[in-house]
């Protein structure tokens, strides 16, 4: 299953997840990553731009997903992981002109759906990168 499909079906709202959790937990389900709940909880503090509207949780969530899929032993020994994360962030930033939560929320968040559109965009980007294998 594609991550995009899960998000389109209301995955974030149904599971009461922040942006980073939605990306990591959704990818775990969509791509069968085998992450346990304790590992997924690591994403909790990244929602809302780490709680201070800095780096977008969708972006940090994408980095967590790609790290779990492509990191070898350590980040500095994983050039494929670094390239995929770079590609994901560049694609997201080219679509939204920012990776900063505060800027993104001001333009793309609404009270009813929150940051659903941003989360969906992150899901699509991850699907494209994973499917390019």
The reported pLDDT for the residue numbered 9 is 94
**Single pTM value for the model:** 0.95
**Angstrom distance (rounded) from CA 11 to CA 15:** 6
CB neighbour list of residue 111: distance below 8 Å, 6 or more residues apart: none
Domain housing 74: 3-131
Q: Smallest Cα–Cα separation from 12: which of 2, 24, 1? A: 24
Residue 65 near residue 24 (C-beta atoms within 8 A): yes
Structural domain tally of the chain?
Answer: 1
pLDDT digits (tens, 9 = 90+) for 40-56: 999 999 999 999 999 99
Residue with tokens 């992150």, as numbered in its chain:
122
């Amino acid at each position: 299953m594609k991550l995009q499909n899960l998000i389109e079906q209301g995955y974030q709202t149904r599971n009461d997840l922040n942006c980073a959790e939605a990306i990591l937990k959704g990818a775990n389900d969509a791509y069968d990553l085998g992450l346990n709940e304790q590992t997924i909880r690591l994403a909790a503090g990244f929602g809302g731009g780490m709680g201070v509207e800095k780096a977008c949780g969708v972006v940090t969530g994408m980095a967590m997903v790609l790290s779990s899929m492509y990191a070898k032993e350590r980040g500095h020994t994983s050039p494929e992981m670094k390239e995929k994360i770079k590609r994901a962030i560049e694609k997201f930033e080219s679509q939204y002109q920012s990776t900063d939560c505060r800027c993104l929320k001001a333009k793309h968040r609404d009270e009813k759906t929150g940051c659903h559109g941003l989360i969906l965009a992150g899901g699509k980007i991850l699907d494209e990168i994973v499917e390019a294998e």
